[in-house]
Amino acid sequence: MFGNLTLDAFKHDPIEAAAGYSIFLSMILAVALITYFKRWTWLWKEWLTSLDPKRIGVMYIVVALIMLFKGLSDALMIRAQQAFSVGDAWGYLSASHFQQVFTAHGTTMIFFVGMGIVFGMMNLILPLQIGARDVAYPFLNSIGFWLFASGSAYIIISLIVGKFSATGWVAYPPLSGLRYSPNEGVDYWIWSVQIAGIGSLLSGINFLVTIFKMRCPGMTLMKMPVFAWSALGTLALIIFAFPILTATLGMLSLDRLLGMHFFTPDFGGNQMMYVNLIWAWGHPEVYILILPAFGIYSQVVSTFSQKRLFSYESMVWAIIGITFLSFIVWLHHFFTMGAGANVNAFFGIMTMLIAVPTGVKIFNWLFTMVRGRVHFTTPMLWFLGFVVIFSVGGMAGVLMSIAPVDFQVHNSLFLIAHFHSMIIGGVVFGFFAGFTYWFPKIMGFKLNERLGRYAFWCWLIGFLAAFLPLYILGFMGATRRLDHYEAATGWQPLFLVAAVGVGIISLGLGLQILQLIVSIKERKKNTDTTGDPWNGRTLEWSTTSPPPVYNFAVIPTVQTRDPFWEMKQTGASPQQKPKYQDIIMPKNSPLGVLIGGFSFILGFALVWHILWLGVIGLLGILTCFIVRLSEEETEYCIPASAVAKIEAKASKRKK
Amino acid sequence: MQAKMKSRWKVASSIALFLGAVVAGLVFLFNSDIAVLNPKGWVGMQQRELIIIAMSLMLLIVLPVLILTFVFAWKYRASNTKATYAPDWDRNHLAEILWWAVPLVIIAVLSVITWKSCHELDPFKPLNSHAKPLKIQVVALDWKWLFIYPEQNIATLNFVQFPEETPIDFEITSDAPMNSFWIPQLGGQVFAMSGMRTKLQLIANETGNFRGCSANISGQGFSGMTFTAHASSPDEFATWVSAVKQASQSLNLGMYTRLAEPSSYNPVAQYSGVEEGLFDWIVMKYMMPSHK
């Protein structure tokens, strides 16, 4: 009846159980609170079924922040184990639990934090920046988000029902094959990533079309804000890379479900093929994460230097160069697999080449500050922290692209320090910069600056304490993913420092949560009535904060790269009495959340081999599609008179 | 005026403090027992040299960037109204050519180094040496390392001994998930994969005990997959070989099958004889469909 799912799946050791129960309790608490405040209808009508990219963007960010909290807890657990599991002491986690924790940490951070903030930011800002009212395919956008959300749910549910994968976040076979991992763990990982990955592909298509087809009149590609350009690079990568992931995971699940041998060495399968395929997706993936962050820094530096971005064309070509190069470097993830010298040398040199456009970008940002007026707001602090960490991490990266050097540091903690420099220093800092920068636009009030600064310093100092020791540990021969090591290695002091560092980072996240609470409480004081709190340059600042559902009452026409700045400089105020027209917007639809839910059921059934449940999931998805296809009225009209009313109210608020 | 002097003094002293910390850090790194920076074998030494050359080349760019970041940010701070403000200044062709070209030149130099070193330090390529290489076959098992000496017809578990200044020709496979064979003080690693045969050439320039491990997650007992690599004098090695030949157990197929069962944190073991062609059998058995 329930396939492989038996009562044993609910039995856990005390630590796992504590995590599971606390999550279960917080879910019950959330449900109770929503019921108590009678917010269910509001939640359903205003958020869950919404097709408004600004709403979907906020939901992406909420999921990403919850997952960040989860991923950081994992990190704390990992370092706590490693700080004390030395010699005769064996730490507080069993090896298999420890391995689940680091697998969950990697999967969570890359797929649900990284991808969440990428799509969250795009949803929130992209349409506004290119002067569009909506995205190209609003319903697809909703499906994309709900697939992402249901993917993230497996990570949570695996704490309560059964176990998660213990094979590391890229799950190399044969370890991830049936023979060495017969349990449900790897299946949880596969379906979590598979479903979220399909969501990413759909959203990728949606935003690519949005950029190509929905820019406002006058905005040629070379007049787009750099964030839009970086998004374009990311979207191209998503569309080319994610199908590889889908196919690879498809083959791995055939190996596991039907006993096939794509990647297990028996019957002619090839584990090295998996390693190639997963990194043919995996390397572009890291650029998928970092490019939007580059875009955010570009907007932040130029806005807070009150100056044009230095050498826009260089920036654009650098993005295009990085996008292209990122597809021909994947082999540097496994120089140690024994490919010939020519192959290793080629991929090593291609990898180094990426440093050139990246370096150019950094120079351009620095020269954007030159002859500007630099305001040290929190987003600017994140940017400066980024330059330091990213330059050092980048150096480590180029170092590892020399294959013989890589032989000495591959899979050591040196590598871990390198990619955390890129992902925390680059992606996460970029996200925080963008979050603070655009928060008033989306929510209508600014975040508390002082707490933001405190949080920044915690993250920066915490980062240095947590990851500089790792560079040294790597050189000492410490490999990643160790749940125990001998005392004679002399690693323990450095592991202790690293653990303290993670503690300081957690304090930083705590301060950010406090910052949110305080800012919401004091929102009256920090309200942004102008719609332009930072003296901004691009179109998103020309509308109100928060923007109306249709973003722009009149679609703007642009002539330059910083249209809003130009407009303020020339003093050309928008038409005094604009002629409003009827605006057509998409209706809400519950089908996105339903498709997400049925996909979750389908994946869950596949994890536990429950046939009837799988059939329900599949039929549910199909039914939703048929219902959507047969709907006739999917849009509604906001009459010109209503638009005029909303706008009048907004301009009154401005005064 | 005095305040200005004071702040300058502050800046200078903090820069001096920072540089002092960097120098102290570097001295610490190269003096203490850090495997990769204090290698005991030729391969590891070449790799350390590469690290130093590449780091120095990159610092040529990265250091100025770091300094400029803070200089610019400070000089053009909003409160400094004396600084030039040119909100539309966004081009300088000379500067742009410079920062496309200089990194490109450095990367070109690094590329040449990469190309040469990839060939010179190819783990499959035999090392230059007068001594005849010693062949050692390595099998990664769940979760221990088996070393087979085909010429001496002995085998050891989680311990490998070889003479100093003799090239070691490691032939590596796995009868378990993917692992990575690494002795940091002698030189870089290479993957161990079932059904595959990889190679690694290492040499110890001096005697000593070196820590070896697996660098690729391979399941529950992965952290315990450590071994000692002991480089000894050739005489000592010969004595050791004859001692191992006296060991009570020998590694026949039945013994091997039992050994291949998962077990972790295994003590060192010695085998006086080895089933003929065992290593090839381990590699080849994955080609046969009947394998379970």
Where along chain A do its domains lie? 1-304, 373-542
CB neighbour list of residue A50: distance below 8 Å, 6 or more residues apart: A56, A142, A588
Residue in B closest to A315 by C-alpha: B96
Domain A373-542 top-level CATH class: mainly alpha
Residue in B closest to A376 by C-alpha: B77
What pLDDT does A427 receive? 97
- Other Cβ atoms within 10 Å of A568 Cβ, number: 17
Domain A1-304, CATH number (from 1.20.210.10, 1.10.10.10, 1.20.120.1760, 3.30.70.3040): 1.20.210.10
Confidence of residue B32 (pLDDT cuts 50, 70, 90): low
Peptide bond into B145 cis (omega under 30): no
- A11 secondary structure, DSSP code: -
Determine the distance from the C-alpha atom of residue B14 to the mean position of all C-alpha atoms in its chain, rounded to a whole number.
Answer: 36
Closest CA to A369 of A318, A433, A302: A302
d(CA B189, CA A406): 9
CB neighbour list of residue B26: distance below 8 Å, 6 or more residues apart: none
* Partner B, chain A 98-157, Cβ-Cβ below 8 Å: 99
Burial state string for A158-174 with b = 16 or more CB within 10 A and e = fewer than 16: bbbbbbbbbbbbbbbbb
What pLDDT does B290 receive? 54
Query: Long-range contacts: A642-649, Cβ < 8 Å, 24+?
Result: A643/A550, A643/A553, A643/A580, A643/A581, A643/A582, A643/A583, A644/A580, A646/A548, A646/A553, A647/A548, A647/A553, A647/A578, A647/A580
Cβ atoms of A524 and A499 within 8 Å: the answer is no
Q: Could you give the 3-state DSSP secondary structure of residue A150?
A: helix
The ipTM of this complex is 0.93
Task: State the pairing for strand pair B144-149/B134-141.
Answer: antiparallel
Q: What is the pLDDT of residues B201-243, one digit of tens each?
A: 999 999 999 999 999 999 999 999 999 999 999 999 999 999 9
Which residue reads 């490999």 in tokens?
Answer: A479
Report the first-to-last Cα separation within chain A, whole angstroms. 66
> Is some CB atom of chain A closer than 8 A to the CB atom of B104?
yes
Closest CA to B134 of B200, B215, B46: B200
Give A384-404 as a 3 state SS string.
Answer: HHHHHHHHHHHHHHHHHCCHH
What pLDDT does B292 receive? 45
d(CA A412, CA A171): 17
Helix ranges (DSSP H) in A259-311: 271-304
Establish whether domains A1-304 and A373-542 are of one fold: yes
Element (H, E) at B134: strand B134-141
Q: Which residues of chain A have pLDDT under 50?
A: none
Please give the single-letter amino acid code of residue A232: L
Cβ atoms of B161 and B234 within 8 Å: the answer is no
Cβ atoms of A177 and A256 within 8 Å: the answer is yes
Cβ atoms of B44 and B184 within 8 Å: the answer is yes
CB neighbour list of residue B216: distance below 8 Å, 6 or more residues apart: A172, A411, B178, B179, B180, B191
CATH of domain B134-287: 2.60.40.420
What average pLDDT does chain B have? 92
Q: Could you give the 3-state DSSP secondary structure of residue B162?
A: strand
- Residue A42 is encoded by which pair of tokens? 């509001």
d(CA A84, CA A102): 17
What pLDDT does A459 receive? 97
* Partner A, chain B 175-194, Cβ-Cβ below 8 Å: 176-178, 180, 182, 184-185, 187-191, 193-194
Query: Long-range contacts: B73-82, Cβ < 8 Å, 24+?
Result: B73/A369, B73/A374, B73/A376, B73/A380, B73/A384, B76/A305, B76/A369, B76/A370, B76/A371, B76/A372, B76/A373, B76/A374, B77/A373, B77/A374, B77/A376, B78/A306, B78/A373, B78/A374, B78/A375, B78/A376
Task: State the pairing for strand pair B227-232/B159-163.
Answer: parallel
pLDDT surpasses 50 at B291: no
Helix ranges (DSSP H) in B170-263: 234-244, 253-260
> Is some CB atom of chain A closer than 8 A to the CB atom of B217?
yes
Element (H, E) at A34: helix A14-36
Work out the minimum CA distance from A449 to partner chain B, whole angstroms: 17
Q: What is the pLDDT of residues B33-84, one digit of tens each?
A: 788 999 999 999 999 999 999 999 999 999 999 999 999 999 999 999 999 9
> Is some CB atom of chain B closer than 8 A to the CB atom of A486?
yes
Cβ atoms of A411 and A371 within 8 Å: the answer is no
> Is some CB atom of chain A closer than 8 A to the CB atom of B206?
no
* Partner A, chain B 36-55, Cβ-Cβ below 8 Å: 36-37, 44, 46-47, 50-51, 54-55
> Is some CB atom of chain B closer than 8 A to the CB atom of A372?
yes
Element (H, E) at A239: helix A226-258
Residue in B closest to A318 by C-alpha: B100
- A554 secondary structure, DSSP code: S
Element (H, E) at A315: helix A312-325
Check A395 against B66: CB less than 8 A apart.
Answer: no
Task: State the pairing for strand pair B187-192/B179-183.
Answer: antiparallel
Where do the structural domains in chain B lie, given as residue ranges?
10-78+93-120, 134-287
Residue in A closest to B171 by C-alpha: A338
Task: Identify any residues that bridge with B270 across adjacent strands, giving them in sequence order.
Answer: B156
Q: What is the pLDDT of residues B81-125, one digit of tens each?
A: 999 999 999 999 999 999 999 999 999 999 999 999 999 999 999
- Residue B93 is encoded by which pair of tokens? 């062709």
Nearest CB to A356 within list B107, B184, B195:
B107
Q: Could you give the 3-state DSSP secondary structure of residue A452?
A: helix
Q: What is the pLDDT of residues A25-63, one digit of tens each?
A: 998 999 999 999 999 999 999 999 999 999 999 999 999
**Phi, psi angle pair for A292, to nearest 5°:** -60, -35
Residue in B closest to A371 by C-alpha: B85
